[in-house]
């Protein structure tokens, strides 16, 4: 097994077979995934997939504020400044890892404690078992940095009930454990201090023919009740407004509702107009795609974002200069035409393999 400074891999011995354990240890930057970490996870998952003595994989983070706050887009910004011709390889590798997790043939259990955003969602939401603590803070905040929800989440968000995925993907709203459970984004809640015991229980439990059901049974022994979702009372408004077919109509519908609706409309107006329209098109398209098709679409969209300015301007404003004042180009929704949006979905010379 390969261990690097930002991540640790272990095999936890059980009574029959072993458990593969991934621990993110880059807490100084909230476990932001760099390319080295992505490649290490993907390679280890590939090895464990083919190892007869490994029955399941668990991913967690070392104690701290975050499970994983996202991909290391600051490094992508630096590569853009250096005019790196292989800048898209970061995303090619990340999406390949996301695809492996989605299709993983063995139980893959994500233990989320704290901030889980962007790339962190990509290594957890596709798990066979999604477990979180009451400190979970979930978001896909990409439209705020001139990007869009990627890492396979166009597939996930487009399938959530009540248009919740459209709301989350377009606004970048941060939601709690209870909200995630109500939306169908997590399966179980377990206390953080119980994670070590849960891991050893999984390792020590002989897996029956239905290994996923066995894992579910173990997790349920540790699961605790969750609070009521504060977002639940808004589901009706969300479904009504985010069922509109254009961003302009969504904003108009929200502004005709209560103070909360007006607040959401105001938030949308701060996002990159290009990001909003491309995100909406990506979600609408992903509704009818298989996972592999959706992540292929995302790789196309991402490559086109890398050719334009809003993504890098968003990173500059939020993560580099931190002035929180991005200058979007164009800065008006009406200037982002259907033809402009369509170009983001054009095929590439070299597609995602």
- Domain ranges in the chain are 7-343
Beta bridge partners of 66: 115
Partner residues linked to 50 by β-bridges: none
Q: Which of 142, 187, 298, 313 is catalytic?
A: 142
Burial class (CB in 10 A: 0-12, 13-18, 19+), 244: middle
Distance CA 128, CA 105 (A): 10
- pLDDT given at position 352: 86
Burial class (CB in 10 A: 0-12, 13-18, 19+), 9: buried
The answer to whether 150 is a known catalytic residue is yes
Question: Are 25 and 8 a contacting pair, CB within 8 Å?
Answer: yes
Compute the distance between CA of residue 219 and CA of residue 324 in angstroms, rounded to an integer.
41
Give the integer Cα–Cα distance in Å for 314 and 320: 9
Strand 188-189's sheet: what is its strand order?
7-12, 18-24, 54-61, 108-112, 129-132, 188-189
The most distant pair of C-alpha atoms in the chain lies apart, rounded to whole Å, by: 62
Mapping DSSP onto H, E and C, the string for 104-149 reads CCCCEEEEECCEEECHHHHCCCCCCEEEECCCCEEECCHHHHCCCC
Catalytic residue, candidates 94, 150, 187, 313: 150
Question: Whole-prediction pTM value?
Answer: 0.96
- The answer, yes or no, to whether the previous bond of 330 is cis (omega within 30 of 0) is yes
Decide: residue 235, CB within 10 A, 0-12 exposed, 13-18 middle, 19+ buried.
Answer: middle
The neighbour count for residue 343, using CB atoms within 10 Å, is 12
Q: Which entry of 70, 119, 144, 172 is annotated as an active-site residue?
A: 119
Tens digit of pLDDT at every position of the chain (353 positions): 666 789 999 999 988 889 999 999 999 999 999 999 999 999 999 999 999 999 999 999 999 999 999 999 999 999 999 999 999 999 999 999 999 999 999 999 999 999 999 999 999 999 999 999 999 999 999 999 999 999 999 999 999 999 999 999 999 999 999 999 999 999 999 999 999 999 999 999 999 788 999 999 999 999 999 999 999 999 999 999 999 999 999 999 999 999 999 999 999 999 999 999 999 999 999 999 999 999 999 999 999 999 999 999 999 999 999 999 999 999 999 999 999 999 999 999 989 87
Q: How is residue 205 annotated by DSSP?
A: S
| Helix 291-306 with 273-286: angle, nearest 10 deg | 160
Q: Which of 20, 71, 114, 122 is catalytic?
A: 71
Q: Does residue 71 carry a catalytic annotation?
A: yes
Q: Helices then strands (H, E): number in the chain? A: 16, 9
- The domain made up of 7-343 has a fold known as 2-enoyl-CoA Hydratase; Chain A, domain 1 (3.90.226)
């Amino acid at each position: 097994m390969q261990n690097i400074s930002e991540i640790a891999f272990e095999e936890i011995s059980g009574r029959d077979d072993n458990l593969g354990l991934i621990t993110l240890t880059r807490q100084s930057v909230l476990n932001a995934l760099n390319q080295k970490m992505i490649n290490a996870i993907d390679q280890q998952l590939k090895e464990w997939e083919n190892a007869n003595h490994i029955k399941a994989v668990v991913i967690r983070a070392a104690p701290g504020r975050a499970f994983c706050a996202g991909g290391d887009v600051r490094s992508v910004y630096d590569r853009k400044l250096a005019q790196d011709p292989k800048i898209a390889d970061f995303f090619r590798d990340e999406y390949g890892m996301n695809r492996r997790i989605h299709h993983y043939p063995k139980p893959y259990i994500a233990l989320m404690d704290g901030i889980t955003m962007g790339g962190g969602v990509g290594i957890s939401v596709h798990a066979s078992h999604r477990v979180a603590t009451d400190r979970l803070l979930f978001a896909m905040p990409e439209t705020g940095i001139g990007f869009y929800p990627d890492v396979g989440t166009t597939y996930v968000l487009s399938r959530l009930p009540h248009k919740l995925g459209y709301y989350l993907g377009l606004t970048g709203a941060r939601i709690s454990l209870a909200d995630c459970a109500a939306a169908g984004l997590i399966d179980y809640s377990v206390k953080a201090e119980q994670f070590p015991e849960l891991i050893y229980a999984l390792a020590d439990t002989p897996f029956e023919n239905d290994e996923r059901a066995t894992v579910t049974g173990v997790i349920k022994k540790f699961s605790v009740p969750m609070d009521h979702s504060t977002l639940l009372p808004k589901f009706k408004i969300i479904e009504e407004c985010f069922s509109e077919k254009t961003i302009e109509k969504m904003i108009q519908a929200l502004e005709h509702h209560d103070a909360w609706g007006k607040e959401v409309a105001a938030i949308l107006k701060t996002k990159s107009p290009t990001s909003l329209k491309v995100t909406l098109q990506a979600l609408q398209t992903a509704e009818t795609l298989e996972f592999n098709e959706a992540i292929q679409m995302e790789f196309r969209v991402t490559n086109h974002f890398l050719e334009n300015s809003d993504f890098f301007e968003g990173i500059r404003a939020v993560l580099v200069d931190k002035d929180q004042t991005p200058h979007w180009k164009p800065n008006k929704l009406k200037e982002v035409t259907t033809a402009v949006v369509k170009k983001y979905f054009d095929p590439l010379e070299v597609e995602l393999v």
